[in-house]
Amino acid sequence: MASISSLFAQTSSYEPFITQLVEIEAQKKLRFESEQSDVKESKTAVSSVSKALTDLEAKITEFTTVSNNSFELFTSSVSDSKVVKVNSASGLDRENAFNITVDRLAKRDVALDTVRTGSGTDLAAFGDGSVTLTIGTKTDTINVTTAGLTNEEILEAFSTEIANKFGDEASASVFNTTSTDVQFSIQSLETGFENRIQFSGATGVLAELTGSMLELVPDAELDAEFTIDGVTFTRASNNVTDAVDGLDFTLLDATGVEEQMTISRDTASSKDNLEDFIKAFNDVNETIRERTFINAETGNKGPLQKYRTIRTFSTTLRQNALLNASAITNGNVANFTDLGISFENDGKMIIDDSDLLEQVLRDNPEQISAFFQDASSPIATMLSQSESFTESGGILSTLEDSLDDKIENFNVLIKREEDYLTEFETDQRRIFNELDALLEAGQAQFDQVVQFAGINI
């Protein structure tokens, strides 16, 4: 006869049953997690759209800012790049060529004391000293004491005082010319006659020092001297920004030989800027289309397909881009077609007439600037519409807030289900443990009965 224990042997391991029961009860939690995942995907998609629109807005702002001069750019070349370098021609409004001859570069003023024995004490004999130092627009008094100091120590004290009071205007040093000799040097940190070193009212040891100093560059030769198209200029700096309006250049070498700075239209960079705008526009169009698609055959949908306002925005952008700038007169660039730009069926902006665009960039780039900057242009409309989506309290930010609330609500529901499942699993384990205990008690009673009856099993 089989025992009760053997009868229940196949069912005494109850863990698989508990696992199956918990999995069945977890379906609601899994549904919440799936729905939350969809909401998170929608939020990520909204963030992608927002970024694309923000990038477009940044490009529009950049190209509509007058000071950026984004479509009226110039490039420069020089006949000898070792003599002069053009830093910027952004302030010019037309092509030009300038003949330049550099006769002298601007220099720093440098003054040297005589060579002295560093350990000597002859300078101390002149007593404490003071001197008024002027460099550029700054004037201050330098004082030095000499009691018990060597020549080198006095020169170091002089150098330190100059550094303390004129650290931005001059550099002073004491050089060891030999193992025993030293020499004091001071130089202005800015070039030009107006930044020259001027000592006055010297007394004591500083009268001795400043009175015997040698100027390496005569005052009359501290300024740069050059001619442009026959006009002579002198400047305190080799970086020249005010000789020709809108032109910034640097003098590099004084050869006395005529060179040429040529300024021409930089149509390539201007076109690059326009292509940057087109890319930003297309990124918006593509980002929206990829997240609002619907496949009629499979039924698959993008995460934002149900949001009609977002779904139709790329179409709205294209429709507005086809409009004219109403305030721009005939004969000027008033729409994208006048720039050789059109749109494909999917809303993508393309350059379909490169020759026309090159002509406008070369001959009338100011019209492109006017088109972008005009308040009645489709560019201005694009910016306004985009900002209505991205600004605080706008369509996208409001939608993001709503999605955040849904995600948080799902977090609460999921946590509630997790707590329930933990309790459910505990209860099931308790029930099966009680059943197991009953089985064991039944088996014990059965064994006793068998033993009492003397039955062989």
What integer is the mean pLDDT of 112-126? 96
Q: What is the pLDDT of residues 126-151, one digit of tens each?
A: 999 999 999 999 999 999 999 999 99
3-class secondary structure per residue, the chain: CCCHHHHCCCCCCCHHHHHHHHHHHCHHHHHHHHHHHHHHHHHHHHHHHHHHHHHHHHHHHHHHCHHHCCCCCEEEEECCCCCEEEEECCCCCCCEEEEEEEEECCCEEEEECCCEECCCCCHHHHCCEEEEEEECCEEEEEEECCCCCCHHHHHHHHHHHHHHHHCCCEEEEEEECCCCEEEEEEEEEEECHHHCEEEEEEEHHHHHHHHCCEECCCHHHCCEEEEECCEEEEECCCEECCCCCCCEEEECCCCCCEEEEEEEECHHHHHHHHHHHHHHHHHHHHHHHHHCCECCCCCCECCCCCCHHHHCHHHHHHHHHCCCCCCCCCCCCCCHHHHCEEECCCCCEEECCHHHHHHHHHHCHHHHHHHHHCCCCHHHHHHHHHHHHHCCCCHHHHHHHHHHHHHHHHHHHHHHHHHHHHHHHHHHHHHHHHHHHHHHHHHHHHHHHHHHHCCCC
What integer is the mean pLDDT of 383-409? 94
Q: What is the pLDDT of residues 25-40, one digit of tens each?
A: 999 999 999 999 999 9
pLDDT band at 248 (very low <50, low <70, confident <90, very high): very high
pLDDT band at 368 (very low <50, low <70, confident <90, very high): very high
pLDDT cut 90: percent of the chain above it: 80
Q: Compute the mean pLDDT over every residue in the chain, rounded to the nearest whole number.
A: 92
pLDDT band at 457 (very low <50, low <70, confident <90, very high): low
- CATH number of this structure's domain 1-73+267-457: 1.20.1330
Q: What is the pLDDT of residues 160-204, one digit of tens each?
A: 999 999 999 999 999 999 999 999 999 999 999 999 999 999 999
pLDDT cut 70: percent of the chain above it: 96
Instruction: Check whether 1 has a pLDDT greater than 60.
Output: no
pLDDT band at 7 (very low <50, low <70, confident <90, very high): very low
pLDDT band at 210 (very low <50, low <70, confident <90, very high): very high
pTM value is 0.70
Q: What is the pLDDT of residue 16?
A: 85
Instruction: Check whether 352 has a pLDDT greater than 90.
Output: yes
Domain boundaries, the chain: 1-73+267-457, 74-106+223-265, 108-221
Q: What is the pLDDT of residue 365?
A: 93
Structure tokens at 185: 């040097």
pLDDT band at 6 (very low <50, low <70, confident <90, very high): very low
pLDDT band at 456 (very low <50, low <70, confident <90, very high): low
Q: What is the pLDDT of residue 225?
A: 98
Q: What is the pLDDT of residue 199?
A: 97
What integer is the mean pLDDT of 418-436? 88
What integer is the mean pLDDT of 401-414? 95
Instruction: Check whether 11 has a pLDDT greater than 70.
Output: no
